[in-house]
A and B are shown apart, each in its own frame.
Chain A
Amino acid sequence: MPEPARHSAGPLRLPARRESLALVREYVGKNLEACGLPGDRRLRLELAVEEIAANIITYAYSPAGSGDLECGFAADGKTAEVSLTDWGAAFNPLEKEDPDLAPELDRREPGGLGIYLARNLAGSCSYRRDGGRNILTISMPLQPEAGSARSKEEGA
């Protein structure tokens, strides 16, 4: 019998349109459940995936929706990893500047926060350009990392 935490799934390729977000969420949610990622880290990873996917849907293609978005999943027993691929112009969202976090309501414009949240909530994010594809990989350890504030709390 396979170890429950070790799990991978065939990729899901969809049109890069807003309607596809629900299917991405379903695919990721199902796989994260199968690999046993606990609730709080599962939600953080789901959020990072939603933000990156939404960014692809809005910006990867011109006109918007004229290309595809592919979502992949793998877990090796230690880490759950979701990859998001598009075939748009080379773009590394991780190099995007942090948004203005001004506390005044009047100065804040909607948007710009998604990538920032993804970067800060996922365990780690990495980008590579490969054969005309942008591949963004978001990963989260299945267990709290040794030495993190959380594991210290748990050990106390």
Chain B
Amino acid sequence: MEITVTKKANAVILKVDGRMDASTSPEFDRECGALIDAGERSLVVDFGGLEYISSAGLRSLLSAAKKLKAMQGQIRLCRMGGLVQEVFALSGFASMFSIYPGVEEALA
């Protein structure tokens, strides 16, 4: 998994590429935790390059979303496809998160 962080005027984009599994998800937790600690309250996660997400990855997203919600922040997801989209649909996560087709829509 590779995470690229880009700061925009009113949000931070995290581009997550590769696989979010039990071995790599802690890295996502650390990255989100650091951004939230630094005062960021609006995260956009770009899943355009993510091919795989397991329940460990879902758990990380849920924990980031709960943390942000408690601070009046939010997490938005975009560019989801293939297995990632299927896992979101199956788990009910698709209706828990704000999901956008592209980065621009998520930032709007």
Interfacial residues, chain A to chain B (CB-CB below 8 A): 18, 21-22, 25, 40, 43-44, 46-47, 50-51, 54, 101-106, 108, 110-111, 113-114, 116-117, 120-121
Contact = CB atoms under 8 A, between A and B. Distances in A.
Contact of B83 (A22, A44, A104, A116): A44
B62 interface: yes
Interface of A, secondary structure class, is helix
Given A18-B22, A113-B55, A116-B91, 15 more contacts: A21-B21, A43-B82, A47-B83, A50-B54, A50-B56, A51-B54, A51-B55, A101-B91, A105-B66, A108-B92, A111-B59, A113-B58, A114-B54, A117-B87, A117-B91
A54 B87 contact: no
Nearest to B68: A105
On chain B, which size bracket covers the interface?
20 to 34
Closest 7 CB pairs of A and B: A101-B92, A103-B95, A114-B55, A110-B59, A113-B55, A43-B83, A50-B54
Contacts of B22: 18, 21, 50, 54
A103 B91 contact: no
B52 interface: yes
A111 B55 contact: yes
Instruction: Pick from B21, B23, B55 the residue with the most CB of A within 10 Å.
Output: B55
A21 to B, nearest CB: 5
